[in-house]
Amino acid sequence: MPVLVYAENAGGKFKKSTFEAVSYAKAIADATNTGLTAISIGDVAAADLAALGNYGAEKVLNVANDKLKNFVNQAYASVIAEAAKAEGADIVVLSNSFSGRGLAPRIGVKLQAGVADGAVALPSIEGGKFTVKKTAFSGKAFATVELTSAIKVVSLTPNSYKVVDGGADAAVEDFAVETKESDFKAMIKDIVRSADKVSLPDAEIVVSGGRGLKGPENWGLVEELAELLGAATACSKPVSDAGWRPHSEHVGQTGIAVSPNLYIAIGISGAIQHLAGVSSSKVIVVINKDADAPFFKVADYGIVGDAFEVLPKLIAAVKAYKA
Ligand code: FAD
């Protein structure tokens, strides 16, 4: 019984988090002595589908259906569940991306499966027990959960498992599905892509600003540092509420959850609701003029100082390093 992995694409291209999920699913397939089948929904080039073999998929099911061109939560969950049944898969893996967060529980219900969402490590499969370490309470804690159901759904936190490549091309098969009207009650009409150079949920480096930056006119420093580092920009909730930055940059419990390799927080106090969306970042650097700011408690590196003095020096240092 193969492992099934959902290979999510954005605008027809697979994302890094997809390669992480396929690599992760391959490691689970190897640990359970089984094969790995991937499923892709939407318009993806044949060569890109076959290239999923590079990350461990032996077979790729391609669902090219006009009604499924744009992401529809219920309909995608139905298709993935149908594919799991057709393949006889007892483990379904996907990324805990924005869409993955909506899909995992729906697939779980359709397959009567146990769900571990936000896994941060490979499952332990010993003595018939399947346990997974995952984030809990909006990223404020970790929990190790045991899935006792016959079918298991695991969604992987982006940036928490390395991409492993080196395999041969996968065989690509069309997977025909019959869509149900009842799966299309809520639909995406149009997708407007932001002009951001680096997509925030997928960014490896995030430079984030808070109310300590005083106003939108000062964001040039944040943008300059982000550009030099190839990073995405983000902000705290009050900053987007005040209209200093777009809501698409708001990170935290009520915003986007990010887990980059490097998160640089500038003039952000580190309230629990902010930390909920950023604390699984690999390395956290905090710049704050208040040495008692709560963010320092979770920082790997901290600079106590005025952002308007520290940032120009940091920018100059990065420029000198790159020269
Ligand atoms: P402040 O708390 O005002 O902190 C500004 C910081 O900047 C201070 O630490 C200060 O020392 C420092 N500073 C000031 N001047 C300088 C300077 N010149 N140089 C360096 N440092 C300086 N917040 C989120 O971010 N994301 C969420 O998703 C979110 N969800 C929420 C949900 C709920 C239900 C609630 C109640 C709140 C939520 N909040 C969220 C708000 C959260 O509680 C905090 O109010 C918010 O994170 C504070 O934003 P801040 O750190 O930018 O501003």
What is this model's ipTM?
0.99
Give residue 271 CA to ligand 1 midpoint distance, Å.
6
Quote the pLDDT of residue 259: 86
Residues in binding site for FAD: 211, 267-274, 288
Give residue 234 CA to ligand 1 midpoint distance, Å.
13
Q: Is the CB of 290 under 6 A from ligand 1?
A: yes
Q: Is the CB of 237 under 6 A from ligand 1?
A: yes
> For 102-105, which contacts have Cβ atoms below 8 Å and span 24 or more sequence positions?
102/73, 102/77, 103/6, 103/73, 103/76, 103/77, 103/155, 104/153, 104/155
Quote the pLDDT of residue 196: 62
> For 213-221, which contacts have Cβ atoms below 8 Å and span 24 or more sequence positions?
213/239, 213/244, 213/266, 213/267, 213/307, 214/267, 215/244, 216/243, 216/244, 216/245, 218/308, 219/244, 219/245, 221/307, 221/308, 221/311, 221/312, 221/315
Quote the pLDDT of residue 153: 98
Q: Against a cut of 0.90, is the pTM above it?
A: no
Determine the atom of ligand 1 nearest the C-alpha atom of 270: 51
Low-confidence ranges of the chain (pLDDT < 70): 194-197
Quote the pLDDT of residue 98: 85
**Residue whose CB lies within 8 A of the most ligand 1 atoms, among 206, 214, 236, for a mutation test:** 236
Q: Is the CB of 241 under 6 A from ligand 1?
A: no
Q: Is the CB of 268 under 6 A from ligand 1?
A: yes
CA separation for the pair 132, 141 (Å, rounded): 14
Quote the pLDDT of residue 192: 75
Give residue 288 CA to ligand 1 midpoint distance, Å.
11
Q: Is the CB of 274 under 6 A from ligand 1?
A: yes
**Residue whose CB lies within 8 A of the most ligand 1 atoms, among 140, 206, 213, 237, for a mutation test:** 237
